[in-house]
Each structure stands twice: as C-alpha cells, then as structure tokens.
Amino acid sequence: MGGTTKEKLAIWGTSGHASVVADVIRLGNDYEIFGFIDDVNPEKTGSRFGGAYVLGGQEKLEDLFQQGVEHIIFGFGNCEARLRLTELVRGKGFRLAIAIHPSAVLATDVAVGAGTVIAAGAVINPGTTIGENVIVNTCASVDHDCRVEDGAHVCPGVRLAGNVIVGRATWVGIGATVVGKTRIGSGTIIGAGAVVVDDIPDGVVARGAPARVIRKVRPDA
C-alpha cells in the first residue's frame, strides 16, 4: 500500500520556538523535516534537536537545495530577521512553508501568507488576513476583519478584537488585549499584558493598561 511522499523541509533556528514549529510541522504531516539551520550557535552543528540534526548555518543552503530540500520555515521570534532572511532564501530558490497546528481554528475565508506559523489553540475569525512570516502563537485569538501584516508576532494568549491592524514586524506581547478598530504601527512592541485602547504609532514600545508609549524602539530591541 503506497504512501504519499512528503516534501523535504528545513527549519531555520534551534530555539524553543523552533521545537514548537517542528511539532506543528510533524502534526500537519505534509513535510519531512530534513534538519535545522542555525547561524547563531555554530557549536550545535551535528547535534540532535527537535527530532532531527542541526546541519549548520546558511552556508549549507545550496547543499540543501541540491539534496531536494525546497522548503524552509523560520523557527525564531525576531520579526525583522524573519523578513530579511526571506529575501535570502527565496533568492536561492527556496519556498516558504506554512505551518498550522491541527487544533487551530481558522474561518474558511482567512488568508494566510507564506512562512506563517499558527500554533496550537489559536482562533482566527472571518474576514481576517494574515501576512507572510507571521506568528500567531499558542491560544491567541484574532477576531473578524483583522489584518496582521508581514513578520508580526501575536504572542501566546493575545486577544485581538475585530477590525484590528497589526503592523509589519510588530510584536504583541503575551496576554495583551487590543480593542476593536485599533491600529498598531509597524516595528512596534506591545508589552505583556497590555490593554491597547487607542492607536499606537510605528516604532515604539507601549506598555500598561491602558497601553501608553514609553519610548522609541532601540535598533537592538
């Protein structure tokens, strides 16, 4: 009795989030995890991680492609880095995989961009658009008619009400709540547990209940 051949995939990163991504990929049953890429911790090369081996850094990309690995997904939280490395991997011929946990609930009309990870227990309601390389993390909820732009990270337990916009490469911290018809700018950080009741501009850090801007984002934030 023949089975369907799975496409080979590499996960970029060896953090805790990478292990979550690996679990989602395996449960989805569409890809075979060929191994992990890690540019940050070269000492991990050759070691076991997440049920496979750490293959090395980006110098391995051409070899991987020659071995039939055509898909990559990012397993780390740095929003800007996920977007930046997308250009690199696409330039080498790779495609970005999508990982959606089988326990996540998505309305039938939800659009999900390449490279996006939707974790266990997430709920995304009708009319919503999720961009490329987005993370909708564990038990986060995104209500109707929202737009989550490329590279954003909606952390575990976040609650977005209807008609919310989360800007490009923005981080919405764990347990934050965002009221309806609110826009959070690009490259912004919303602190854990914040309650966003008004629009938040680009490139700032906002915390508290209600959330208030406390400073601009530092380049290394």
CA 80 to mean position of chain CA atoms: 11
**Rounded alpha-carbon distances, angstroms, from residue 193 to 119, 152, 173, 204:** 19, 17, 7, 16
Q: Quick check: helix, strand or coil at residue 151?
A: coil
Interatomic CA distance for residues 115 and 135, integer angstroms: 9
Q: Is 153 marked active-site? A: no
Interatomic CA distance for residues 141 and 155, integer angstroms: 10
- 17, 71, 101, 144: which one is catalytic? 144
**Rounded alpha-carbon distances, angstroms, from residue 46 to 33, 41, 90, 161:** 15, 11, 25, 44
Tokens coding 152? 């954003």
CA 13 to mean position of chain CA atoms: 12
Interatomic CA distance for residues 200 and 167, integer angstroms: 10
Catalytic site positions: 144
